Amino acid sequence: MRLSDERLAAAAASQSSAVPAIFLKYADFKWDRILLIWDRFTGDHILYSDPTTHTTQLMIRTPSAIHVRKHGHSANETHTMIAGTATFACGGTRMELGAGSFNFMPARVVHEAWLPAGSITFITVDAAWDLNWVEGAPSAADLMK
């Protein structure tokens, strides 16, 4: 079914927003360090954070393999693997997720991850992104050789 030009224009007008469309090329990402303890872990780029809801989309890359210790977040979080095969664990379930795979972690659910060198993960969070460590902050021991 094709919408008439008038209906398309009306639909577009109803979706107008004060926030402009955003287009980002991977080559232009500015990578920050989210966990300074891991000096070889150089990898997050906030793609977008809504100024009102603080809903956040970010990309994480791991030049070196790492274990992300048990933690939770105040908001729902999703992971979509772009590159690499990561292992996620939550509530006694462990799952390997390769490129294109997805998971959903409800708010405050404790989980952990093992990310291989060269992995890229796309993350969405329903509010501001935070990390609440269960067994203490990560250390150099969490870098996998």
Q: Is residue 46 part of a domain?
A: yes
User: Does residue 5 lie in a domain region?
Assistant: no
12 versus 53: the higher-pLDDT residue is 53
Question: 44 Cβ partners below 8 Å, 6+ apart?
Answer: 31, 32, 33, 34, 58, 59, 60
What band does 42 get if pLDDT is binned at 50, 70 and 90? low
Task: Please check whether residue 6 lies inside any domain of the structure.
Answer: no
Q: Examine residue 66 and state whether it is found in any structural domain, yes or no.
A: yes
pLDDT at residue 145, as a whole number: 55
Residue 13 lies in a domain: no
Residue 128 lies in a domain: yes
11 or 59, which is more confident?
A: 59
In a domain? residue 17: no
**Residue listed under structure tokens 């796309």:** 122
Rounded distance, CA 132 to CA 114, Å?
17
Q: How confident is the model at residue 142 (pLDDT cuts 50, 70, 90)?
A: confident
> Cα dihedral sign for 109, 127, 77, 104?
positive
Q: What angle do CA 107, 87, 118 make, to 5 degrees?
A: 110
Check which CATH number belongs to the domain holding 31 and give it. 2.60.120.10
* Nearest in space to 88 (alpha carbons), one of 69, 107, 61: 69
Q: Is 8 within a domain?
A: no
Average pLDDT over residues 9-33: 72
Q: Per the structure, how many domains does the chain have? A: 1
Give the pLDDT of residue 76: 97
pTM of the entire structure? 0.78
| Containing structural domain, residue 100 | 24-142
- Three-state DSSP at 6 gives helix
